[in-house]
Amino acid sequence: MGLRPVVFAALAAGVCCGTGCSNDMDDVAGFETLGGPSQVLQCAALEYSDDGTLTHRLGAEYMTRSSEEPPIWEVTGGFTLEVLDATGGTDALLGADRGVFQEETRFLEAHGGVVLRGSEGDTLYTELLFWSADSDRVHTTAPVEVRTPQGTLYGRGLESDARFQRYQILEPTGTFIVDTTRSS
C-alpha cells in the first residue's frame, strides 16, 4: 500500500468527520426549553436570610423547582416553614401537606392540614393559608380554628402577622364569654 491511498483515506475521513456532526440551532434550542423541573430534592431544607441574618427555614419531604423564571418551588409530602427571630430561634412554625413557594418574593401558598403555631402558644388550624415575607403577613379566607390558652375560637377568614402574635378572625362564629367585671 503506497502513500497515495493512505493520504486519500485520511482526507476522506477528515471530510466525513468535519461535515457529519452538525446540529441545527433551532433543534438545540428546543432541547434547552423542554420545561419541567430544574431541580428535584428529597428531604431538603432551604434557609433564607436578610443581610446575612437567617430569617426563614423551609423544609419538605419533596421539593421541585420549576425551570421558569422567576423560580417556583412545589413542596409536597408535608413541609414546615420556620419564621426565625434575631437569635435564630423559632418564632413561629407553619406546617402543611403541600404548597407553592415563590422563591423571589418569598410568598407561600399552603394547602391541606395547615397548622401555624406562634411563640406565645396560640395555634391556627385551617386548610388554606397565604404567607408573605415581604409584608410579614399571613391570611386566609377559609374556615379557621384558633386554639389559645383561654379557649378555642372559630370563624372564616383570618389576618395576622407572620409570627402569629397579633391576629384577627374576619368572621367569628360560636359563643363568646365577655368578662364585664374588668375595667379598662
Complete DSSP assignment for 133-162: TTTTEEEEEEEEEEEETTEEEEEEEEEEET
Give the residue-averaged pLDDT of 56-83: 90
The pLDDT, as a whole number, for residue 7 is 44
Task: Report yes or no: 130 and 140 within 8 Å, Cβ to Cβ.
Answer: yes
Residue of 150, 51, 47, 129 whose CA lies nearest to 90: 47
Rounded Cα distance, 96 and 126, in Å: 9
**114 is a domain residue:** yes
Amino acid identity of residue 115, one-letter, is V
Q: Is the pLDDT of residue 68 over 60?
A: yes
Q: What percent of the chain has pLDDT over 70?
A: 76
For 146-162, write each residue's pLDDT tens digit. 999 888 999 999 999 98
For 116-140, write each residue's pLDDT tens digit. 999 888 999 999 999 998 888 999 9
Determine the structural domain holding residue 96 and report its residue range. Answer: 35-173
Question: pLDDT tier at 27 (50, 70, 90 boundaries)?
Answer: low
- Give the cell for residue 88: 435564630
**144 is a domain residue:** yes
The DSSP string of 92-105 is EEEEESEEEEETTT
Query: What CATH number does residue 120 fall under?
Result: 2.60.450.10
**97 is a domain residue:** yes
List Cβ neighbours of 46 (8 Å cut-off, separation of 6 or more).
Answer: 57, 58, 59, 63, 73
φ and ψ at 182, to 5 degrees? -90, 140
Q: Which residue has the higher pLDDT, 132 or 17?
A: 132
**73 is a domain residue:** yes
**126 is a domain residue:** yes
List Cβ neighbours of 68 (8 Å cut-off, separation of 6 or more).
Answer: 35
Rounded Cα distance, 83 and 94, in Å: 8
**55 is a domain residue:** yes
Q: How many domains does the chain have?
A: 1
Q: Which residue has the cell 404548597?
A: 99
Question: pLDDT tier at 45 (50, 70, 90 boundaries)?
Answer: confident
Highest mean pLDDT among 38-42, 74-78, 84-88: 74-78
Q: Is the pLDDT of residue 37 over 80?
A: no
172 upstream amide cis, omega within 30 of 0 = no
**19 is a domain residue:** no
Q: What percent of the chain has pLDDT over 90?
A: 41
The pLDDT, as a whole number, for residue 10 is 46
**119 is a domain residue:** yes
